[in-house]
Structure 1
Amino acid sequence: MKRGMYFAGAGAAGLLAAAVAVLAPHDDQPEAASEAPAPPRIVMAEGDDRLPSTTATDWVTYADHVVVVTAASERRLPVSATEAARGEGLIGRTVDMQVKKVLWSRKGAPEAAPKSWTYNAAGFALTNGDPEAAAPMAVHGRPRMEVGHQYIVAVSWEPARCSPGDKPEPGRWMGLGEGSEVPYDGNTIGQGEMEGRVQTAAQARILVAGEHGLEEEMIGQDAAALAAKLKATPATEKQTFSAQSQPTACD
């Protein structure tokens, strides 16, 4: 759903650097009476995609594996001393992603498909000094990855980085970009959690009307249909993008 861009796989620092705006969550119900409690706010962020992720060709060219996952548990990260002192900033969040099924794998992938991994998810925006009152944060056009929901994710392996003068970063699984993470509750593509709210496949079709991509094409279908689509799609030559940093090999 092309309603924004994102630093795919970025941690708290990357999301904090993105522009944010406080918005009410999407609501398909009629407007509530004035005396009804206001819905909880969600802070929405923008960013940049790491790799192309819109089409089936993008997925089979840049992904190593496409998997069905469940968000099994989450951990809210501690507030940094700097953010606690100024009373605002971002509270990070990680999610334990459990792989239920591997739908597709690229021949020659550098690592076998994971059984699980820790996902750096959108966390919470601290604005009034009280961490317990921090607002949930989501990224335009992407699931928030909430516990109990199921998703289809196209991932690639990011090797360890050991740049001189910087703290070493271990290798990790990362998404491609906005189009590489898809709701999949009830084994139906497009149905489930998106941007912190729950939607049906019918609602998803309305939200993406006029948009064209793999995610939009597959709404309402199941993982088997997506796997068949990927297996029938040839990859193209990978391109190098200026925004991609080149890792330095670790000893």
Structure 2
Amino acid sequence: MKKILGIVVITVVVTAAVFGILRSDKQGVPKHDAASIVEGDPVYVTSGHEMFSSETPADWAGNADYILDLSMTSEKVSEGDEFFVDRLADFVVHEVLYERAGAPTLPDALSMRVAGWMKGRGATLRPIVTKHGSSRMIPGHRYVVAIRYLEPRCNPDDDVEAGGWQAIGSWGVVPYDGKKVGEGEIDARGGQKLRDVTTLADSSVAGRVVADKSAIGDLIRMVQRADAKERDPQRGARVGC
């Protein structure tokens, strides 16, 4: 089994055919041909268990260090193996909307690992989204994101997975193009609206955004009013890892 951003991938549902190009250098490190993967490409949807819960306001209040209004400015291949290629993205933070007491200090330049690509036949890549109806996060789009700092963690073979900032889960990202909550990029396609693509329960953050036509202030107050559940532990973190 392979972990993607704290997700143990169990199955992969094919939602599209072949597209995208992957090139490799002599050391076998993948290089992204930026012209080969474009907005609107079909995606693979992974199905698995995420490290943290991210669906409800209580999940956001309990698991997030920050809630940010941000835009992705660029992306690049970070690392890969025989099955997956990871993606490292740079963001500009427009506003800090929520900060947990005692949260680590945000860096001046924010970079995060985000869902990357699955390798297909030959040199093809298939963009990954972790849940249908969630945002992949791609350059040029704006989001409200609940993020958490992860400590380095070790897998059973004692390999080290680097720590860093990461969205708390698939539902910890809400599209925010045009400063309109719930509108923007979903499933790697721009111009979408949550209310048209999701059937999440009204108890979820996304479901309430859809039902209440929430503004950004409403979303943050929703989290602030939530009784924060006990903070989910980061599995695999280990001192000296």
- TM interval, shorter chain, is 0.7 to 0.9
Q: Matched residue pairs, number?
A: 214
Report the CA distance shift for 1:48/1:163 in structure 2 as closer, same or farther (over 3 A).
Answer: closer
Match of 2:216 in 1: 223
CA distance in structure 2 between the aligned counterparts of 1:215 and 1:156, rounded to whole angstroms: 19
Match of 2:197 in 1: 207
CA distance in structure 2 between the aligned counterparts of 1:154 and 1:225, rounded to whole angstroms: 15
Return the TM-score normalized by structure 2.
0.75
CA distance in structure 2 between the aligned counterparts of 1:246 and 1:128, rounded to whole angstroms: 32
Report the AA paired with residue 73 of structure 1: S
Report the CA distance shift for 1:178/1:129 in structure 2 as closer, same or farther (over 3 A).
Answer: same
Report the AA paired with residue 105 of structure 1: E
The alignment status of 1:72 with 2:73, answered yes or no, reads yes
DSSP 3-state at the match of 1:47: strand
The alignment status of 1:237 with 2:230, answered yes or no, reads yes
The alignment status of 1:94 with 2:88, answered yes or no, reads yes
The alignment status of 1:9 with 2:1, answered yes or no, reads no
**Structure 1: segments with no counterpart, 5+ residues:** 1-6, 26-38, 84-88
Match of 1:117 in 2: 110
1:193-217 per-residue CA deviation (whole Å, 9 max, x = no partner) reads 111112443xx21322462211221
Q: How does 1:1-251 map to 2 (within 5 A)?
A: 9-10=5-6, 17-24=9-16, 40-77=41-78, 80=81, 83=82, 89-109=83-103, 111-130=104-123, 133-141=124-132, 142-161=134-153, 166-201=158-193, 204-209=194-199, 211-212=201-202, 213-219=204-210, 220-238=213-231, 240=233, 244-250=234-240
CA distance in structure 2 between the aligned counterparts of 1:57 and 1:40, rounded to whole angstroms: 33
Say if 1:102 and 1:113, in contact at 8 Å, map to a contact too. no
1:92-120 per-residue CA deviation (whole Å, 9 max, x = no partner) reads 322112222110111122x0234443322
DSSP 3-state at the match of 2:62: helix
Q: Which has the larger radius of gyration?
A: 1
Return the TM-score normalized by structure 1.
0.72
Please give the root-mean-square deviation of Cα atoms over the aligned residues, in Å: 3.0
Higher strand share: 2
1:118-160 per-residue CA deviation (whole Å, 9 max, x = no partner) reads 3222223322212xx4232222232111110111111122223
Say if 1:8 and 1:48, in contact at 8 Å, map to a contact too. no
Say if 2:62 and 2:232, in contact at 8 Å, map to a contact too. no
Report the AA paired with residue 61 of structure 1: G
Report the AA paired with residue 163 of structure 2: G
| Sequence identity (%) | 26
